[in-house]
Amino acid sequence: MVQDVGTATTGRAAAGVPEGEAPVRLDVLVRSSVAAVAGHEDWRLVDTDTAFRDLGLTSLRLTELHERLREATGLPLPTGLVRSLTLVESAASSAARGSEAVDAYERAARRLVARPPADPDAFFRRLFALIDPTTRYPVPLPAELSRSARRLSPDTRWPWEAVVPVRELRAAPFPVLIVSGGARPVFERISDALAERLDARRLVVPGGHAVQNTGAPFNTALEGFWSTV
């Protein structure tokens, strides 16, 4: 029986895998992870010659893929491969606790997660109404968003659980950029706190929570940042 991403291999168990099986297990691990992140039901349909973009992976999904592979293998991403880090509308509220706006947001989100609606789509709508009240999602939800809603569970790692590795990021050999959309005090405060603690560059690109959807303004900001890297 071929194992799935949860049992294919881990960094601790890899040493016990026969040499001939390692490539097969790695193939299963990566393809299963891609399928889970992209919302494909059968990992066997993931073609290793297909570009991530054509598999439906956005930059956010690629970040999730990296975390899955890191957790499964125990292997960190070498910092030498990273030239810069950009955080957009970060929801890591632990960085700014004590702020009235941040604490109110976290309390409301925790209450919702503790007693979520039975319908995953309804849960998704209420959760994202806390994050960005200005966005109205169509009824029914588009297929990709509906799949994302169904992946939310009590075991989900929520933003307020994030522990920001301040010391490591301050000492990292690459610059950090913190971007926010200027629309909600909670995310402005979190972004300000992160920029201060990480000694990072800070930009506000007006455009709400999904700053990247502004197109040219966001791209220009990134290009300006990258030109100095």
Q: Where are the domains of the chain?
A: 14-75, 80-226
Residues 6+ apart with CB under 8 A from 127: 109, 112, 113, 152
Domain 14-75, second-level architecture: Orthogonal Bundle (1.10)
Residues 6+ apart with CB under 8 A from 216: none
Q: What is the distance of C-alpha 55 from the center of its chain?
A: 17
Task: Give the pLDDT confidence score for residue 217 in this predicted structure.
Answer: 93
pTM for this structure?
0.67
Mean pLDDT by 10 residues, the chain (229 residues): 39 55 82 85 82 70 76 72 80 93 95 93 92 86 87 82 87 90 93 96 91 90 86
Task: Give the pLDDT confidence score for residue 16 in this predicted structure.
Answer: 56
b or e along 171-189 (b: 16 or more beta carbons within 10 Å of the residue's beta carbon)? Answer: eeeebbbbbbbbbbebbbb
Task: Give the pLDDT confidence score for residue 172 in this predicted structure.
Answer: 84
H-type helices in 75-151, by residue range?
A: 100-114, 120-131, 143-151
What number of other Cβ atoms are within 10 A of residue 25's Cβ?
18
Task: Give the pLDDT confidence score for residue 58 in this predicted structure.
Answer: 66
